[in-house]
Chains A and B, each alone.
Chain A
Amino acid sequence: MAVTPAPAPPTSAARTSTPPPPQRRSFRDLRGKLDVKLSPYLYISPFFIVFAVVGLFPLAYTAFVSVHEWHLIGGQGEFVGLGNFIDVIQQPTFATALRNTFSIFLLSSVPQVIAAIIIAAVLDANLRARTFWRMGVLLPYVVMPVAAALIFSRLFADDAGLVNTLLGGIGIDPIRWHADVIPSHVAIATMVNFRWTGYNALIFLAAMQAIPRDLYEAAVLDGASRVRQFLSITVPMLRPTIIFVVITSTIGGLQIFDEPRMFDQFGRGGSDKQWMTVTLFLYDLGWGAQKSFGRAAAVAWLLFLIIVVIGLLNFALTRRIASAGTALETKKRRRPGARSNGGAR
């Protein structure tokens, strides 16, 4: 700072002055321009550099692998074009894997979001030892997914598991968690929910605390009950957060791997592929019996395309909901605002 005691004249002044600017000034001018134009890109560049290295390059390289015969250890083989894609789609396992993935995704995401909102609403209330409860909710998130999966798969053991013992205690026949399709999905969804509900609850909690409290005061004055406040204020105001949580859990849900992988001793999704998800299928192709990286890469790309499609659907759907929400919101606000503010918006 001591080196440049005189602050540079404002650039706007330099631009409007008629005499030709001296050499030094034009350099400074250029630097100023560069700063304005270039430095924002420099600021954001680290993300894009990292993304190019760990996101874009693998994506492109996977595409390259997917059109070749490629052995896990043997490496690159002949070019086969779309052969791998055709092979993979023709295998009935692919359809089964898709079915399982969506089933587990629905069984986990839907209850998860609902439970998270309710938990967040409870945490948002005036509780004693608030931090303790909030930390408690996040605790499962700290547990390694593999560790959680190991414990849960033991709890859900068909003959000797705790869950079936408890069910037996209340007179329910043991459920064959590792043999039947839907029970196995429920068991895996339980692991996912155990881990992510608290995390989502905290996101919702943060959003809830940003809701202006005067809305609630007004509602109380109008005689709205707690439930009514929750449904008419909290949930509508959370809409953008719900969209965020739904999109992230969709992407995560479609890529589910750890939990089904650790669900039994072999990690191949069950003898009849009861809980083989798409990522597990990918793993089995690449590292299992076939050791075909080409086919695994083809599945990876198919999964990517599926996620893109679902993501776009999600986006279109939630944008409609969101815009409907804002329309409702502005309508509500406009009425009292029209009098005092003249509808500044």
Chain B
Amino acid sequence: MAAAKGGIDPTAEGLPPRRARHPDGTEAVPETKESDVRSTRTWLGLTAGMAGVALALTGCASDAGDGGDGGDGGSGGSSDEKITLTVATFNEFGYEELVKEYMELNPNITVEHKKAATADEARDNLNTRLAAGSGLSDIEALEVDWLAELMQYSDNFNDLSSAEVDGRWLDWKTEAATTADGKLIGYGTDIGPEAICYRADLFEAAGLPTDRAEVATLLEGDWDRYFEVGKEFVANSDAAWFDSAGATYQAMINQVENAYEEDDGTVIGIEHATVKDIYDDVLTASVDDELSAGLGQWSDDWNAAFQNGAFATMACPGWMLGIIEGNAAGVEGWDIADVFPGGGGNWGGSYLTVPTHTEHPEEAIALAQWLTAPEQQIKAFKSKGTFPSQIEAQESDELLSTTNAFFNDAPTGEILVNRAEAVTATPFKGPNYFAIHQTVADALTRVDVDETDDANSSWDKAVQAFKDLGLE
């Protein structure tokens, strides 16, 4: 048995093999060469050996059995049965209160809400678990940037289309999540119409107007205008103008119809004027004009920078409001202006999907439908600023009259409705959008945050990284 234990334990506990094997584990098998072995001992020995093997085998077998049982067990879940549904989201969806409310409405359902810190992390989780075919939540949130790559594997998601939800969302929102044969894999949650969030106190100290209507007038125009005002600001202030070159680039590229791919999904790549010009503009503003605080978005330093007033403005899609409020807790002076450089822009926005792996598809779909219903989305908006993609919600007075105390009582509902109307371009985001975008985002980080490269050498590395993707 000592041998059996030594063999099984390290793997069973998932310890790295490096330290798990005992140095003298090899001594565990006794030599039995004596000639006068008594028959009882023989039998004991044999049975012990067999038992060891049997144990090892049944150990595997029962594991497999458990998995199978778990798969079958809940599929017929009647409404009285106590079930648990898991909802996996990222950043801030504003579902904390909604989850509690749903559990009160449905006492037999327990909802577990899992939040990933970043959308990238959620994407990694989802991909890994899709590939493994297990461990997925009953409801998985998707970000629009990587929706398309998952659309290729729509078999892994339940068809959510139903008469009840027809026409609930903006057309383009639903179309993006509908397959060629008419299957709807995700319910829209929010969209990300962008405004400019700014620190009124820093504006005042630098001699700029602080009132949100005046700021809107001040920044009205294209990105050059935004950078111009930025130069004026940094000349009179210790703070930077915006947080990160990457975030600013993201805002700008989201105004381009076909940044990396044609409408049919053909890869254009990054080596063309549209992408390169934006890249150069952003880095000129960030590094040469010192407008950027040089923070990688979502990094620990970025989170902490909200507390020390490292920058004065940032591109601000609706869902960002909750994040600013969380990171800048206790800081006064944040406000939001009804303006966005280069017209309107949409950044992000998400969907809820129900993977086919779920044990409770009906209940999960019901929950997803409830969470994405206009009434609930408005509550989420009030909580974390996730701007509704639901038509009814966008038209509701409740939304229009929403103000946000943290942002100096700004009428965030009205501002974001205006910003949503200003959006003219619907960027095409195909299956490779996320992968290609990452190569440029890394290049910007190298120059803006890490300072390991200048704009040109970093660009070369991005071109190499794009080649490594093997898309051409």
Contact = CB atoms under 8 A, between A and B. Distances in A.
Interface in B104-157: 117-118, 120-121, 124, 127-128, 130-131, 152-153, 156
Contacts of B3: 43-44, 46-47
Interface stretch (B44-52, B159-167, B259-267, B401-409): B44-52
Interface residues of A, number: 69
A82 interface: no
A72 B131 contact: yes
A289 B18 contact: no
Contact of A272 (B57, B305, B438, B452): B452
Nearest to B437: A289
A160 interface: yes
Nearest to A181: B452
B37 to A, nearest CB: 7
Contact of B299 (A74, A178, A241, A287): A178
B46 A47 contact: no
B329 interface: no
Contacts of A292: 470
Interface in A270-286: 270-272, 274
B23 interface: yes
Contacts of A178: 296, 299, 450
Contacts of A42: 46, 49-50, 52-53
B144 to A, nearest CB: 17
B434 interface: yes
Tell me which of B30, B156, B301 has the highest count of chain A C-beta atoms within 10 A of its own C-beta: B301
Nearest to A291: B127
B55 interface: yes
A93 interface: yes
B183 interface: no
Contact of B300 (A51, A154, A274, A290): A154
B38 interface: yes
Interface stretch (A8-16, A313-321, A324-332): A8-16
Contacts of B153: 73-74
B447 to A, nearest CB: 9
Given A159-B301, A160-B300, A241-B23, A287 B127 contact: yes
A22 interface: no
Interface in A27-53: 28, 31-32, 35-36, 39-40, 42-51, 53
A265 B53 CA distance: 45
Interface stretch (B6-14, B280-288, B414-422): B6-14
A248 B7 CA distance: 17
A31 B36 contact: no
B17 interface: yes
Given A42-B52, A252-B19, A91 B35 contact: no
B61 to A, nearest CB: 12
A163 interface: no
Nearest to B49: A42
Question: For chain B, which range describes its interface: under 10, 10 to 19, 20 to 34, or 35 or more residues?
Answer: 35 or more
A93 B301 CA distance: 26
B127 A47 contact: no
Nearest to B124: A287
Contact of A54 (B11, B295, B308): B11
Interface in B50-76: 50, 52-53, 55-57, 60
A31 B42 contact: yes
A179 B470 contact: no
B56 A35 contact: no
Contact of B29 (A40, A244, A271): A40
Interface stretch (B234-242, B386-394, B461-469): B461-469
B39 interface: yes
Contacts of B299: 157, 178, 264-265
B42 A50 contact: no
B16 interface: yes
A196 B11 CA distance: 19
Contacts of A159: 295, 301, 304-305
Contacts of A74: 152-153
A48 B3 CA distance: 10
B127 A157 contact: no
Interface of B: 3-4, 6-8, 11, 16-19, 21, 23, 29-33, 35-40, 42, 45-46, 48-50, 52-53, 55-57, 60, 117-118, 120-121, 124, 127-128, 130-131, 152-153, 156, 295-296, 298-301, 304-305, 308, 434-435, 438-439, 442-443, 445-446, 449-453, 461, 464-465, 468-470
23 contacts: A4-B40, A12-B35, A32-B42, A35-B42, A39-B49, A43-B30, A43-B49, A45-B49, A46-B8, A49-B57, A50-B11, A72-B130, A72-B131, A93-B465, A153-B300, A160-B308, A178-B299, A244-B23, A249-B18, A271-B446, A288-B124, A290-B435, A290-B469
Closest 9 A/B residue pairs (Cβ): A47-B7, A42-B49, A252-B18, A289-B435, A271-B445, A160-B304, A179-B450, A46-B4, A10-B36
Interface of A: 1, 4, 7-8, 10-12, 28, 31-32, 35-36, 39-40, 42-51, 53-54, 72-74, 87, 91-93, 153-154, 157-161, 176, 178-180, 196, 199, 203, 241, 244, 248-249, 251-252, 255, 264-268, 270-272, 274, 287-292
Given A43-B30, A244-B23, A265-B298, 17 more contacts: A10-B36, A39-B49, A46-B3, A50-B11, A54-B11, A73-B156, A153-B300, A157-B301, A180-B452, A255-B18, A264-B296, A265-B118, A266-B118, A271-B442, A288-B124, A290-B469, A291-B127
